[in-house]
Amino acid sequence: MERIKEQFLISPFLVFFLINSMQIGIGILGFQRIIAKSAGYDSWIAIIIVGIAVHIILWMIYRILEESNGDLVEVHKEVYGKWIGGLISVVFCIYLVTMSITVLRSFIEVVQVWMFPEFNKWIFSIYMLLLIYYIIAGGFRTVTGISFFSVILPSYIILLIVYPLESAHIRNLLPVMTHSLKDIVSATKHMSLSIIGFEVILIYYPFIKDPQKSKKWAHLGAFMTTILYLVVCLTAFVFFSEKQLDKQIWATLAMFKSVVMPFVERFEYIGITTWLLVILPNLCLTLWASSRGIKRVFAVRQKKALIGIMIIVFIITGLFRTRQSIGLLNDYMSTFGFYFIFFYIPILFVLTLIIRKLRDKK
């Protein structure tokens, strides 16, 4: 495993922003309707369950990485060998690339529906990818800086949650626990698309200065994400009835319509524009991590890998034209992310424990 030079490392507390910025993305704009389809207005319980599960998975990830002296690519080599391990690492890189395509295409759809119906997705995609390349070319510390500002600068939007509460109906949440455990588990699975992204730490772990001190910040970042999703979810549930929510593809944006200010008529335009800064670290981190993974597996320059990946992202993003195709993309990402995080990582955790115990005995 190559040693990362001191000037490229980040402080442990910045992991809070890396975790939080990856989990808060395009999903928070419309996750309420998706989870409510499974468990109705009891689906807020699923958010708490997912939040607890994320902390458990984070603990496993740190245990996997802290004894490997490297990243996921190194762990795969240790567990499966060079060739099979390299193949699985490539699959993880493809997963990250697909995640970036999902975020970029979903945001373009939001802009087309809410602001500019004739919005040119090709032109926007190429400008976004050029900006992302410029950021990633500055190194991982620059990517981390973008993550920091994407959490700090848009935080004012959270304060506007009081506007929908003026028309809240608390009785919408009652009675509690009217759905089965199966329904709540289904809602938990559908919630996975919104919370995936924190697993990118499997790649940038070697860039953390004193990783042991970053544990508390990683867990704090995941905790803040859970609280934010819970607040936004409950606000939507008390603002909309179940029939109304079923018609709101982007419930969070719809609530922005209730914001009334003397100097702005349609606040959702400001919300969408601000969200560009929110999704920027989603794209930067996934593309940086995927190109880093390709570099580690095939021993190529990261910039060359990044350019190749960006060309793929540009082409595939433009191929999705309808709401149905974008919905399918989100569904497939949600399903794969769910199984990767909550099934594959625990399996990898057990395998690493067994292999390391056998190695210690030898």
pLDDT averaged over consecutive 10-residue blocks of the chain (362 residues)? 80 95 87 89 91 95 87 92 94 95 93 88 94 95 95 81 79 84 87 86 93 94 94 90 86 80 74 88 96 94 95 94 86 88 94 86 73
By the 8 A CB rule, do 97 and 308 touch?
no
Q: Positive or negative, the Cα torsion across 123, 126, 131, 132? A: positive
Task: Name every residue whose Cβ is closer than 8 Å to that of residue 246 and which is 6 or more positions away in sequence.
Answer: 33, 36, 37
- Residue pLDDT, tens place only, 256-289: 877 777 766 777 788 888 889 999 999 999 999 9
Q: In degrees rounded to 5, what are phi and psi of residue 312? A: -65, -45
Q: In degrees rounded to 5, what are phi and psi of residue 195? A: -105, -10
Q: In degrees rounded to 5, what are phi and psi of residue 257? A: -65, -25
Phi-psi region of 179 (alpha: psi -120 to 50; beta: other; left: phi over 0): beta
* pTM of the full structure: 0.93
Helices (H), 9-43: 15-23, 31-39
Domains of the chain: 6-361 (1.20.1740.10)
- Residue pLDDT, tens place only, 67-96: 787 899 999 999 999 899 999 999 999 999
By the 8 A CB rule, do 110 and 250 touch?
yes
CA proximity to 1, closest of 53, 64, 77: 77
As a whole number of angstroms, the distance between CA 114 and CA 347 comes to: 42
